[in-house]
Amino acid sequence: MEINVKEINTYSREMSVQVPWAELEEGFNKHAKKFSKKVNLPGFRPGKVPMKVLMKQFKPAMEADFVEDALNLYYLQALKEKDLLPVNKAEVEKVDFHHESDMSFTAKFEVEPKIILPKLRKRAFKVQKTNYIHDQEDIDHVINDMRRNHSTMETVETGAEEGNFILADLQKLDPSGVPIIGKKLEKQYLKVGGGVIKNENLDKLKGAKAEDKIRMHLTENEQGEKSEYEVSVINVEKEVLPEINEEFIKKVDPDATTEAELRANVETRIKDNYKHRSEEAFERQLSDALIEKVNPEFAPSMVESYLEHMVEDIKQSGQAGAEEVDEAKVRETYQSVAERNMKWFLVRKAVINENELEVSKEDVEAEIQKLLDRSPDHKKEIEKYYKKPSNRTRIEDDLMEKKILDYLRQFAKIKEVDVKTKDLRQQEAHTHD
């Protein structure tokens, strides 16, 4: 078999294959016997038709039937011989075969491009690391969220005030004020002074009582389009937060017995969360810096495959019915994400190979043991979960990612920046407004 591989670019290959008749003959004869069993000719039993008779009457069909199987066989053999691993389905062209002649064909496909990493030196990357400086208001917010999670609701008889909740039916109206059939939302909670209920809507709902009917314009989508609704008030309620007492503390944090201990534990979790947030952003910058430095090419079919999986995941997740998923919109939304992740996949692979990084079975076991030590009460569940090979592979991937990022840190020029959480809260408030 003669094989010629032409490199079109870093990821495209054109492979020409020629198989001599001497290699094909045995396979063709076996195929002819199978073919003869499907033929019904007067005077011959199925499978007993002589080759000369078959060739005389069915030669083109026999050749086409043989080529269909032979192409795949010799295509795979050629790939193995040239140590090529396509990332997409090949486009086969220029197929030529006739009985007692050589067979030739051309296959065009894409492969993972080989990535050559540049020689890295210290301070090759400029990255920023954020130190978040929290305050007492962060702790207050968390504890208030805990209280809200254990709050109760009480009916308000005197009329709605800002901060109360209104349970109501919302009926959409057409421009002339007539109710639109099928456009009624029943038993919806509206917070007076929150979400869509502010400005003129806030004034309309203040003082509202059960059985009141109020008309207002509500924003319906991200574009800010508004429609008129009739709000039929069913009940007005206020949220009653529990006192921060021994019973409440025991309920929300079994490790605390006093408010001071509760606040200290909450503060520890806040610090850990911000530290994790900072580390994630820093590691993302590290990987992005290497991607930018290498700027690798990637096979378009690899990105296409990534997007296909993304579409399938969204369909199966139940976020929308399969028939409702706008595949073109999903692809457009995730195109840049797919391209970035594909670049990192290739660069990551090059770092692993060049530095001979590996994660041992002992590394995985040690990581699982850490999880067991942190959650001794869930020992059986954790052990059962990590008996599954795919779950152990996730740990292996995470540990490898850590090794890669630790390797990259030595080349980073790190600028540390302090950010007050007070400023973050102000930015979020401004965004919501």
Give the pLDDT mean for 158-171: 92
Q: Describe the chain by its helix, strand, coil percentages, rounded to 5.
A: 50, 20, 25
Residue 35 binned pLDDT confidence (cut-offs 50, 70, 90): confident
Domain 152-240 has CATH 3.40.50.300: no
* Residue ranges of the chain that CATH labels 3.10.50.40: 152-240
Give the pLDDT mean for 199-225: 84
**pLDDT tens, residue by residue, 283-322:** 999 999 999 999 999 999 999 999 999 888 888 876 555 4
Residue 42 has pLDDT above 70, yes or no: no
* Residue ranges of the chain that CATH labels 3.30.70.1050: 2-110
Residue 57 binned pLDDT confidence (cut-offs 50, 70, 90): confident
Q: What is the DSSP string of 146-191?
A: HHHHT-EEEE-SS---TT-EEEEEEEEE-TTSPEEEEEEEEEEEEE
In terms of DSSP bridges, do strands 213-219 and 152-155 run parallel, antiparallel, or are they unpaired?
A: unpaired
pLDDT averaged over the chain? 89
Is residue 75 a contact partner of residue 92, using CB atoms and an 8 Å limit?
yes
Query: Residue 321 corresponds to which tokens in the numbers above?
Result: 């019915």
Residue 111 has pLDDT above 90, yes or no: yes
Task: Work out the angle between the directed axes of helices 327-355 and 259-294 (0-180°, nearest 10).
Answer: 80
- Find the Cα–Cα–Cα–Cα dihedral 239, 244, 246, 250, rounded to 10°: 70
Q: What is the pTM of this model?
A: 0.75
Q: What is the pLDDT of residue 196?
A: 67
**pLDDT tens, residue by residue, 175-204:** 898 999 999 999 998 888 876 677 777 888
- ∠ CA(400), CA(403), CA(408), 5° rounding? 130
Q: What is the pLDDT of residue 31?
A: 83
Query: Residue 301 corresponds to which tokens in the numbers above?
Result: 């079919």
Superfamily of domain 2-110, CATH level 4: Trigger factor ribosome-binding domain (3.30.70.1050)
